[in-house]
Amino acid sequence: MEEKKNYFTELNKINCETSEKNKLTYISWSDAWTEVKKMYPESTYTIYENEE
């Protein structure tokens, strides 16, 4: 039986440039998505919208 891959563990190993705002350190969404696509080019995302 094939072991299920832990994508978070793999992505968490990447050292990314961070920014700081209101005493919080973060990586921008676009930078994070770029890193995901580098490692897993077949990745996709879906935007869900509602009437509100």
Question: Could you read off the pLDDT of 23-48 as tens digits, one per residue?
Answer: 999 999 899 999 999 999 999 999 99
**Residue 43: which of 1, 3, 10, 2 has the closest Cα?**
10
Say whether pLDDT at 17 is over 90.
no
First vs last Cα of the chain: how many Å apart? 45
Quick check: 29 and 16 in contact, CB under 8 A? Answer: no
The answer to whether the predicted template modeling score (pTM) of the entire model surpasses 0.85 is: no
Query: What integer pLDDT is reported at residue 6 of this predicted model?
Result: 85
Query: What integer pLDDT is reported at residue 36 of this predicted model?
Result: 92
Quick check: 43 and 36 in contact, CB under 8 A? Answer: yes
